[in-house]
Amino acid sequence: MSAVIDLPVKPVPRAKSAPANTLEPRWIKYVLVTIALLFLTLFLFIPLVAVFTEALKKGWDVYVEAIVDPDAISAIKLTLIAAVISVPLNLLFGVAASWAIAKFSFRGKSILLTLIDLPFSVSPVISGLIYVLMFGAQGWFGPWLQDHNIKILFAVPGIVLATVFITFPFVARELIPLMQAQGSEEEEAALVLGASGWQMFRRVTLPNIKWGLLYGVILCNARAMGEFGAVSVVSGHIRGETNTMPLQVEILYNEYNFTAAFAIASLLALLALVTLAIKSFIEWRLHQSGETSADEAALMPVPHELPHPARST
Amino acid sequence: MTSLLKPRLKPTRVLPGFGLTLGFTLFYLALIVLIPLSAVFLKTFTMTWEAFWSAVTSARVMASYRLTFGASLIGALLNVVFGGIVAWVLVRYRFPGKRFIDALVDLPFALPTAVAGITLTALYSSNGWIGEYLEKAGIKVAFTPLGVVVALTFIGLPFVVRTVQPVLEDAERELEEAAASLGATPWQTFWRVILPNLLPALLTGFALAFARATGEYGSVIFIAGNMPMVSEITPLFIITKLEQYDYAGATAIAVVMLIASFLLLLTINLLQAWTRKRAGKA
């Protein structure tokens, strides 16, 4: 970022590969690369390959059969429902929160930012527990819900609520630093030129934040579909009714139906790979187009380089 | 930087939508996060102090704290060492497949924990690809505390890499060249120049990995074996209590875990402020 300003001062053309040779012996480089690759092989590559190998162990037919199983299909449907509800809700929240926080100044902003981050630092199990305490039979609203015959816990609404909680900060966290770095001159200019508030948002703000928005949405979606701990607490594990894909994986695995468990797991692993691919693509796009403005400044240090606990599934 | 400051200095609000967006933000935050979370604390207020204390200090739960925090600590330390090396290699060296590897470092973020859990268990059980060889060497990983460490190392892998990477990218290599030209050995340059510069980022990464590991559930329960007193993590113990309809007991332990994670969150914020200050100075 600062390279543009530093450039005239720098005496030597490019110090990219030279110091590596002047500073450390070659063998150190090879040893370090080997250690890194061994570590990543052990912890990343082998597990990734293992998911698909285990899933396809008994052949393609068994694999397909495991996926078209009615319980599996209903788990896939429920996972999609949870994501389809929670992602747009948190998208709406993310846009509203980042607009208020990035474009205006008010007291208590840093407290608000910390509060938005809270769901990231809470154990998934506790994220489920809080809804049990609210809607369970002994919970705050438990008796009232029972009287009115409304089921939240051990039913779809509970699963959706837990998913919304778990994925709450994703979009907001991507958008806030991005919009802060962009400032509000462009929006102000649009207003001065006679745009309505909505026109300004659609024509100016939205194009500026679209990549950050997409970034937040895909991370939010990956987490929504893959969440296990929180959903496990509120689901009740009713087969074909309240099982999401990760819960279905657990049930099949505990029944020693390993091939079927890994078949569902392989779908989730594919989702993870697609998420990583889109994420890399967005980062690459930003890198390509970002040399002009605040885009890069905003997206380099804050959102994806500094991960947060429990940002994943 | 200047664009960051400008909106704050503006005395009047030109842009529309402040009331609406802030109002919605606060309403949604209260509804989804604050009210449900407060339920945990309010529930414990219904307990007597003695009941609370005995719930959070029973022998079985103490054993689970030791395992959860101990394994998280080892996992985070492993990630500081190996994650640091991975970050260094990714920033400083060129080798085939680097871009692919860089993208894949985030896999533990993106892979659902249940998938990670069953996969690691399959790999490290006695007939698994890795467990088979470890078994011959007399090491049992799956269904022992060691398995918990493996799962928590996997989960924490991206944190150190992703916090150290940008700092290394921004590091001024002129300093290292200066040290070398002043007669420092590579070892001295590493200890005196490189490591002090990376320290805040390494500590932040460590704290993030540790915080993530203490609350982790999905990837651990498959590989741990979940034997009370031996390989039972605290989040699982909370679920066990819930399944026994001991809501108060579960909530009491949850409060302990929540306080621990709030303290960690505070530490992480301070460490990140330190990292930014360092980066600003450099």
Residue of B nearest to A310 (CA): B212
pLDDT tens figures, B138-197: 999 999 999 999 999 999 999 999 999 999 998 888 888 888 889 888 888 889 889 998
Contacts of B158 in chain A (CB under 8 A): 307, 312
Each residue's pLDDT tens digit, B250-263: 999 999 999 999 99
Chain B CB contacts of A34 under 8 Å are none
Residues of A in contact with B257 (CB under 8 A): 123, 126
- If pLDDT is split at 50, 70 and 90, which confidence band does A216 have? very high
Angle CA A87–A117–A274, to nearest 5:
40
Determine the straight-line distance between the first and last CA of chain B, rounded to whole angstroms.
Answer: 16
Alpha-carbon distance of A23 to B180, in angstroms, equals 7
Q: What is the pLDDT of residue A270?
A: 96
Interface with chain A: mutation pick from B40, B105, B111, highest number of A CBs within 10 Å: B111
Report ipTM (2 d.p.): 0.89
| Interval B103-123 mean pLDDT | 95
**pLDDT tens sequence across B38-78:** 989 998 888 899 999 999 999 999 999 999 999 999 999 99
* pLDDT level of residue B220 (50, 70, 90 thresholds): very high
User: Which residue, among A173, A213, A172, A208, has the nearest Cα to A189 in the 3D structure?
Assistant: A208
Say yes or no for a CB contact (<8 Å) between A119 and B33. yes
At residue A290, the pLDDT reads: 58
* Structure tokens given for B222: 């498959």
- Return the amino acid letter for A19: P
| Mean pLDDT computed over every residue of chain A | 85
Chain A residue at shortest CA distance from B157? A43
Mean pLDDT, chain B, rounded, equals: 90
Nearest to A69 by CA among A222, A231, A263, A209: A263
Residue type, A77: K
Least confident of A139-143, A230-234, A285-289: A285-289
Q: Determine whether the interchain pair B43/A133 forms a contact, defined as Cβ–Cβ distance below 8 Å.
A: yes
Exposure string over A294-304, b if 16+ CB within 10 A, otherwise e: bbbbbbbbbbb
Q: According to the model, what pLDDT value does residue A1 have?
A: 39
Higher-pLDDT residue of A311 and A67 is A67
Provide the percentage of residues in chain A whose pLDDT is more than 70: 85
Give which of B162, B191, B164, B165 is closest to B176, Cα–Cα.
Answer: B191
A222-256 tens-digit pLDDT: 999 999 999 999 998 888 888 999 999 999 999 99
- Residue A5 pLDDT greater than 80, yes or no: no
pLDDT at residue number B70:
97
Residue B29 has pLDDT above 90, yes or no: yes
Q: Exposure pattern of A108-135 as b/e (b: 16+ CB <10 Å)?
A: eeeebbebbbbbbbbbbbbbbbbbbbbb
Judge: A40–B105 Cβ closer than 8 Å, yes or no.
yes
Residues 6+ apart with CB under 8 A from A300: A1, B166
The answer to which of A205-214, A233-242, A298-307 has the lowest mean pLDDT is: A298-307
Residue B85 banded pLDDT, cuts 50, 70, 90: very high
**Given pLDDT bands bounded at 50, 70 and 90, which one contains residue B280?**
low
B132: tokens are 């088979």
Question: If pLDDT is split at 50, 70 and 90, which confidence band does A127 have?
Answer: very high
Residue predicted with more confidence, A9 or B96: B96
Among chain A residues, CA nearest to B43: A133
Q: How confident is the model at residue A23 (pLDDT cuts 50, 70, 90)?
A: low
**Which residue, among A209, A226, A234, has the nearest Cα to A303 in the 3D structure?**
A209
Distance separating alpha carbons of residues B158 and B242, to the nearest angstrom: 32
Q: Give the residue-averaged pLDDT of A43-57.
A: 95
Test B180 with A23 for CB contact under 8 angstroms. yes
Facing B239 at nearest CB: one of A125, A261, A313: A125
The span from the CA of A186 to the CA of A161, in Å, is: 37
- Judge contact between B218 and B113, C-beta under 8 A: yes
- Residue of B36, B37, B107 with shortest CB distance to A272: B107
C-beta contacts of A282-290 below 8 A and 24+ residues apart: A282/A211, A282/A214, A282/A215, A282/A218, A285/A211, A286/A211
Q: How far is A52 from chain B (nearest CA, A)?
A: 10
Q: Which of B14, B15, B202, B242 to substitute to test the interface with A, most A CBs within 10 Å?
A: B15
A132/B251 Cα distance (integer angstroms): 10
- pTM to 2 decimals? 0.87
| Per-residue pLDDT tens digits for A77-110 | 999 999 999 999 999 999 999 999 999 999 999 8
Asked if B131 contacts B142 with a C-beta cutoff of 8 angstroms, the reply is: yes
Amino acid at A60: W
Contact state of A180 with B4 under an 8 Å Cβ cutoff: yes
* Of residues A22, A37, A126, nearest to B257 (C-beta): A126
Give the CA distances from residue B30 to residues A109, B19, B33, B250, in Å, rounded to whole numbers and listed in that order: 15, 16, 6, 23
Per-residue pLDDT, B225? 87
